[in-house]
Chains A and B, each alone.
Chain A
């Protein structure tokens, strides 16, 4: 629909009044376009044959103007023509409005209001001004950097701050925030190396812009083998998004060492990260690396070692408050016990604290076994957890059995101490049967008439089945296994039945006997 045609044209139509308001800029431009062609509009609405003679003449002159034919005429003729155009008040036809395209949000710019469009243009002008300035800033610094051969260019803090703000402003104006590194002039000398994912990517992740950008910069500094304070910030940033990155930790460590960064400062940072990333695994290796580096510097100073021992134990206590069975923390703890030679009563006591709050904490039981049976003071070096160690003193074995026994009385259905007891017996080279009476505290088999059955722990029953098989009391062993499958441990019925089958075949006792390994 063409907008209103100019008012009933007289012989000499005037340029129309400026229109009051247009809903969009494209409507306005379209109207201006038409307004610059009054005779075209006139002809289109009335039809050529209905035009008056003067109108027809004006239309013809307008056509000459529009097509530019008049420019091919002789000078005199041109002069004459322009004069006529003036007297007939034929406006110069504007070119067809160009396609305005879309803005960065994908909206048609043509659909802007004229006012909005004016603002848009203003913003664009502002943006290109800022971009020019920013480009000049970069060039200037780049030049300075080249002169200095890459080392320490002197920056005016003020200038940098200005540029940082400029980029922030550019981000606001372009409606797309500038990346953290892209917006920071201090990183201008680094050329990010973006990921090359391409077609056919498996498990492609919708990376955040933040991660994608930071990763590009990390790749670049790693390639340049840059070890500087800002690398610490960058690695920290990456770690906060992808703590399982298997090389960023190594790179961070090498940077720390290159900078001779204070280890205790790094340790307290690592504490925070660990508390936030319970499941992370790399962080504990990083910590080991730190301790490995720190240790030689303090190894001759017992006070310093003791202080480290205490602070590390405190930190682990904090970790255990969140999850007392965190596998990585326990791994680290074993490392530390070996490193600082913590086979001592303080260590045993701190495990007991954990067991008092949760007697089912199998990790703590496991750690206790390690501390007791790897103590270089009395253990055979390198003796496996599953092997008999003849050097274990009898009183140590007694103490451990006593400790585990107490726990079974506290919670008979807790498998941890039952496993522990078996482990201690094997270490000490004692027979299961040596604890038959103890296990029977929890188990009364039914009499022939089926009376008096009382089983308070399936694990005790399990233990006794092994004891009796060991002693060739097959009938009793069979009863124990049958009770387990039918009644006290029904989940594992298939297993207990299989064990009964082995018992029948006479393999059970032999199997135990043969498989308990003696490592020399």
Chain B
């Protein structure tokens, strides 16, 4: 109070540095065990930078980097809705067709609910929800609900819902649903909200907390998940002045069965502790009582709350457990959702002391326990806890979504924008998307070129005997191997007998992949070269450039350019390539074919076989 310079504070530049390091450099090999939740870590990185004012919407991020991150996230999207946690869970597109699942779908390594939540949030930082398969995602969400109202984290090809009975799934489900459609009734297509609320209620425990699922031990993380779910579903009793549940009389189930008990349980999570591990030795009764009650041998003269230097106060996640950085967030954010005033029921100066002096690391970030090195998870939640407590220098936080309030607002706008119908138009051989509400919508639509002809039309041309020239088709065969990019062009010839033969061309765009001489028989370019030679055709090795730069030049704010990952769904001209192909083969007909159309999957299968088994 007296001396502001000794007052602990957040060293913003140092934390920004920590997060930028996480963004730019490889995480150490020890993070391998988190490979399946890279999307979660990615979100923490983007959101932490946003909270610190160095986010993707600032100059700290060049547009190119934003676009690349966006592509990467979209690359983790599954064709049938939802995202996976790491590219290690995502197969090339051709694996998702011709399956035994519903409607010929093949789930492969199925999409994952938490990954979907974090992917959506991350997308909101780097350019919005364009390219996100909203409809498929909503249908997929519904398929994750069990009869008891709970949610699994994935659903297998056979339609089995997998994953624990876990309050975290309820949370991410409720959040994703909010992001996609707010709490708008959707009738049949919606999840069973009442069953979900019932399931959350059954997770409440005899001591006022909330557990993983029915009848387990109360836990601050799950308590947070339950309360945040209820807040997205508008089922929270919040106002202090009217302790009566606001949903009473509305016929809806109230979310929490015992609000005072929950508050009591939450504030009980703040505990004093000694630095050394004295769990084993039983303290004499009086001392023990004092220590646990936050009383100290030599109490400060001010009946304030700061403990003595050798004593610390932190948050635990369960009764009689150790303190840990992340619980500062789970607890304060939970209280905050129960009413702005409730967050003040905890001892804020003690939280700051704990975070700044005990778990903050000198290289930036926060560790789990006092003295631990920082990790991404605890660094984010430490920051978020401070944001809940309105720490200066951090953007105000939305407790339920765990992003800045500003970002939540942005997400609401994105959702509203997504409901505006979109149209495509063609210009200079490129495909653009534009919303009906765009001021230049009429103008752009009026000036559109004719799109490349559709496959069906092309087939008709072939069947009518127009066989004098080859047909070319690009499809989303933008493949990236470790060191190479390649485009795959199947070439369709219409011989005189009316049958259709497909020939495949592949061109490597960057330097050819070079694996070990022996091991990589299937992936090295020799074989690919060989195939190309078989049809005596191959393109320049160093060109064409990936058209992303061209996109960046062409795109204005109102036009969202299809960049390569969108190319997976929308055919795009690659002008240089087109020129070269036409130079070699004369006039071509260009086909437009969506990613999962039968002709494309057939072709991909064929390439697959040619490359790998010939």
Report if A384-B285 is in contact (Cβ < 8 Å); known contacts: A196-B480, A207-B32.
no
A285 touches B294 (CB 8 A): no
B347 at the interface (CB under 8 A from A): yes
Report if A426-B206 is in contact (Cβ < 8 Å); known contacts: A191-B522, A495-B267.
yes
B260 touches A215 (CB 8 A): no
Residues of A with C-beta under 8 A to B95: 223
Provide the bound-state CA to CA distance between A199 and B24, in Å.
Answer: 11
B345 touches A195 (CB 8 A): no
Provide the bound-state CA to CA distance between A367 and B206, in Å.
Answer: 11
Report if A498-B345 is in contact (Cβ < 8 Å); known contacts: A198-B71, A247-B109, A285-B163.
yes
A490 touches B37 (CB 8 A): no
Interface residues of A in 319-339 (CB under 8 A from B): 325, 327, 330-331, 334
Report if A203-B91 is in contact (Cβ < 8 Å); known contacts: A196-B480, A244-B34, A511-B243.
no
B271 at the interface (CB under 8 A from A): yes
A510, chain B: closest CB distance, angstroms: 7
Instruction: Write the B93-114 contact mask toward A (1 if CB under 8 angstroms, else 0).
Output: 0010000000000001110100
A415 at the interface (CB under 8 A from B): yes
B263, chain A: closest CB distance, angstroms: 8
Interface residues on B, range: 35 or more
Instruction: Write the A458-496 contact mask toward B (1 if CB under 8 angstroms, else 0).
Output: 100000000000000000000000000011111111110
Residues of B with C-beta under 8 A to A56: none
Instruction: Write the A184-215 contact mask toward B (1 if CB under 8 angstroms, else 0).
Output: 00000001111111111111111110010001
A24 at the interface (CB under 8 A from B): no
B15 at the interface (CB under 8 A from A): no
A6 at the interface (CB under 8 A from B): no
Provide the bound-state CA to CA distance between A413 and B73, in Å.
Answer: 50
A385 at the interface (CB under 8 A from B): yes
Stretch at the interface among B315-323, B439-447, B500-508: B315-323
Residues of A with C-beta under 8 A to B517: 131, 174
How many A-B pairs have beta carbons closer than 8 Å: the answer is: 284
Stretch at the interface among B3-11, B62-70, B139-147: B62-70
A386 touches B32 (CB 8 A): no
Residues of A with C-beta under 8 A to B482: 194
Provide the bound-state CA to CA distance between A370 and B219, in Å.
Answer: 15
Query: Number of A residues whose C-beta is below 8 Å from B?
Result: 99
A414 touches B479 (CB 8 A): no
Q: Which of A174, A327, A361 has the most CB of B within 10 A?
A: A327
B184 at the interface (CB under 8 A from A): no
B36 touches A198 (CB 8 A): no
Provide the bound-state CA to CA distance between A515 and B242, in Å.
Answer: 12
B512, chain A: closest CB distance, angstroms: 15
A374 touches B215 (CB 8 A): yes
Provide the bound-state CA to CA distance between A423 and B38, in Å.
Answer: 40
Residues of A with C-beta under 8 A to B207: 419-420, 422-423
**Consensus secondary structure, chain B interface:** mixed
Provide the bound-state CA to CA distance between A188 and B179, in Å.
Answer: 46
Report if A200-B295 is in contact (Cβ < 8 Å); known contacts: A325-B321, A366-B205, A517-B257.
no
Stretch at the interface among B39-47, B388-396, B418-426: B39-47
A511 touches B260 (CB 8 A): yes
B271 touches A456 (CB 8 A): no
B32 touches A385 (CB 8 A): no
User: Which single residue of chain A is at the shortest CB-CB distance from B86?
Assistant: A195
Q: A195-B88, A202-B41, A243-B33 are in contact. List 17 more A-B contacts (CB 8 A).
A: A194-B523, A200-B69, A202-B46, A205-B29, A206-B29, A208-B29, A244-B34, A327-B212, A327-B219, A331-B212, A411-B288, A413-B289, A420-B206, A458-B293, A491-B293, A495-B267, A515-B261
Give chain A's interface residues, CB within 8 Å of chain B: 131, 134-135, 138, 167, 170, 174, 176, 178-179, 182-183, 191-208, 211, 215, 219, 222-223, 241-247, 250, 281, 284-285, 325, 327, 330-331, 334, 360-363, 366-367, 369-370, 374, 384-387, 411-416, 419-420, 422-424, 426-427, 456-458, 486-495, 498, 507, 510-512, 514-517
